[in-house]
């Protein structure tokens, strides 16, 4: 029988284990789903790590198969948009939170949640990209749509050694931007420069409370950190610049003022990857297929087997990892 990472909770007792899941159990817990997928690869994202360690109320029903990402091949489909043998990717839509997710060898999803993998991307590469890379591309596309180009000036990427940050640097550098990476890991400077960062700053410059308006430094920002880091990034953004915000690694709060927005015309762009409409998802994946360096993607990626996905969550939350964690669910 297929194996999966199953999360359980009874009162205060939380459990996370890899165990077999029979098809009858899978179907009973996914009655709204109409496409069965043989999963080949999944990932461990920041949100997955929170769920796997029970550090935050990410999971909304129990038991839950963890994993907000999955890539694999359609086994059967009741929806005409997909047929057996199609290669598909899932990101978000409440998988691993409200619906059984992708850290499993077999999954059932709604057809509306799936995207056909573009030619040229393997299922392993799709999960090396994962929600982090797909979100990074959404951020980068939002900046381009807002009129930001390489000629606009330097772009700041916060949380630079994380999944979103690493992939945002690779994408933006590939598009010809000068990228400044913010990180608390001075030892990762070589890694960040290999991805395309032209300069590196210590995250401490942004992490503490700062003035409402500061010296103008950035034409644009990709922020996955939130809290004081996002507030300071906005305060340092140049007149007419844009800030794409997609994460909360430092915190969900936003201790800022309206000064950057009403005195410098700074635009704050909220990026949601979970419920993003399908046409935008397809565009993001098409651009990832064409624009992302496969060599840089390999540099970002660490691969593990399904059994190690639970233990690695604590390392991710503690900041002991860089880039992306790919899970070979059949290993």
State pLDDT tens for residues 29-54: 999 999 999 999 999 999 999 999 99
CATH number at residue 318: 3.90.180.10
Do residues 108 and 154 both lie within one domain? no
Instruction: Kindly list the strands in the beta sheet with 218-223, ordered across the sheet, starting from the edge strand earlier in the chain.
Output: 199-202, 179-183, 155-157, 218-223, 237-245, 267-270
Do residues 150 and 57 both lie within one domain? no
Residue 322 is predicted with a pLDDT of 87
CATH number at residue 198: 3.40.50.720
**Considering the domain boundaries, does residue 44 fall inside one?**
yes
Cβ–Cβ contacts within 10 Å for residue 10, how many? 9
Closest CA to 169 of 157, 186, 153, 187: 157
Token digits for 7?
């999360």
What is the model's pTM? 0.93
Residue 315 to residue 128: CA distance in whole angstroms: 18
The average confidence (pLDDT) of the chain is 96
Do residues 143 and 103 both lie within one domain? no
The distance from CA 251 to its chain's CA centroid, rounded to whole angstroms, is 16
Residue 102 to residue 99: CA distance in whole angstroms: 10
| Beta pairing partners, 226 | 251
Instruction: Give me the numbers of helices (H) and strands (E) for the chain, helices first please.
Output: 11, 16
Residue 167 is predicted with a pLDDT of 96
The distance from CA 118 to its chain's CA centroid, rounded to whole angstroms, is 19
pLDDT of 287 > 90? The answer is: yes
- List the domain range (segments joined by +) for residue 244: 131-270
Residue 81 is predicted with a pLDDT of 96
Cis peptide bond prior to 63, omega within 30° of 0: yes
Do residues 65 and 193 both lie within one domain? no
Domain boundary, last residue among 270, 285, 308: 270
Residue 255 is predicted with a pLDDT of 97
**Considering the domain boundaries, does residue 255 fall inside one?**
yes
Token digits for 251?
């915190």
Domain boundary, last residue among 253, 270, 287: 270
**Alpha carbons within 13 A on the beta-carbon side of 193:** 9
Do residues 137 and 266 both lie within one domain? yes
Do residues 103 and 138 both lie within one domain? no
| Beta pairing partners, 237 | 218
Burial of residue 270 (CB within 10 Å: 0-12, 13-18, 19+) is exposed
Residue 232 is predicted with a pLDDT of 98
pLDDT of 56 > 90? The answer is: no
Residue 319 is predicted with a pLDDT of 86
Do residues 196 and 252 both lie within one domain? yes
Q: What are phi and psi of 103, to 5 degrees?
A: -85, 70
Residue 177 to residue 183: CA distance in whole angstroms: 18
**Considering the domain boundaries, does residue 292 fall inside one?**
no
Contact 182, 206 (CB under 8 A): yes
Residue 243 is predicted with a pLDDT of 98
Residue 214 is predicted with a pLDDT of 98
Do residues 145 and 214 both lie within one domain? yes
Q: How many residues does the chain have?
A: 331
Contact 84, 74 (CB under 8 A): yes
Per the structure, the count of domains in the chain is: 2
Residue 178 to residue 196: CA distance in whole angstroms: 8
Radius of gyration, CA atoms only, the chain: 20
């Amino acid at each position: 029988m297929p194996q999966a990472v199953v999360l359980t909770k009874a009162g205060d007792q939380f459990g996370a284990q890899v165990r077999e899941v029979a098809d009858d159990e899978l179907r009973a817990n996914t009655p709204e789903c109409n496409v069965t997928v043989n999963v080949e690869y999944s990932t461990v994202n920041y949100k997955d790590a929170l769920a796997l360690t029970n550090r935050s109320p990410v999971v909304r029903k129990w038991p839950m198969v963890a994993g907000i990402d999955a890539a694999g091949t359609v086994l059967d489909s009741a929806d005409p948009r997909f047929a057996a043998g199609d290669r598909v990717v899932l990101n978000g839509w409440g998988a691993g939170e409200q619906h059984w997710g992708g850290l499993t060898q077999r999954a059932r999803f709604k057809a509306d949640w799936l995207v056909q993998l573009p030619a040229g991307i393997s299922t392993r590469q799709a999960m090396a990209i994962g929600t982090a890379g797909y979100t990074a591309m959404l951020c980068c596309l939002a900046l381009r749509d807002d009129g930001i180009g390489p000629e606009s000036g330097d772009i700041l990427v916060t949380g630079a050694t994380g999944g979103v940050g690493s992939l945002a640097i690779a994408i933006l550098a590939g598009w010809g931007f000068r990228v400044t990476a913010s990180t608390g890991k001075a030892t990762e400077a070589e890694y960040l420069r290999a991805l395309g960062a032209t300069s590196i700053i210590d995250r401490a410059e942004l992490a503490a409370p700062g003035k409402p308006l500061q010296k103008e430094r950035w034409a644009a920002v990709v922020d996955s950190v939130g809290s004081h880091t996002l507030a300071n990034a906005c305060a340092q953004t140049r007149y007419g610049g844009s800030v794409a915000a997609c994460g909360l690694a430092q915190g969900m709060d936003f201790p800022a003022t309206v000064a950057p927005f009403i005195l410098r015309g700074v635009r704050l762009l909220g990026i949601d990857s979970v419920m993003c409409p399908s046409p935008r998802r397809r565009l993001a994946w098409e651009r990832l297929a064409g624009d992302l360096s496969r060599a840089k993607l390999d540099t970002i990626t660490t691969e593990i087997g399904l059994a190690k996905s639970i233990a690695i969550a604590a390392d991710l939350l503690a900041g002991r990892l860089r880039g992306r964690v790919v899970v070979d669910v059949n290993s």
